[in-house]
Copies of this chain bind each other. A is one copy, B any other.
């Protein structure tokens, strides 16, 4: 966090098990095309319900990555 320039993107990941896993899934999917991701911030936490049970979680994050030379 010194003299870098960061670009931010927003991603939504999902998971049947919980919030932490949904965030990791979003980051894993994006990491194949986005390099140098450094931090994230959770901006929305939602989910779908089926028959009175949480079917899956959907967590939206903002991710910062450095613009390298």
Binding site for B on A (CB under 8 A): 1-14, 18-20, 23-31, 37-42, 44-49, 52-54, 56-58, 60, 62-64, 67
* In contact, B11 and A6 (Cβ under 8 angstroms): yes
Number of identical monomers bound together in the oligomeric complex: 12
B31 touches A52 (CB 8 A): yes
Q: What's the minimum C-beta distance from A52 to chain B, rounded to whole angstroms?
A: 3
A38 pairs with B27, CB closer than 8 A:
no
> How far does the Cβ of A26 sit from chain B's closest Cβ, in whole Å?
5
Q: Which residue of B lies closest to A50 (CB)?
A: B38
A33 → chain B closest CB, angstroms? 8
A37 touches B49 (CB 8 A): yes
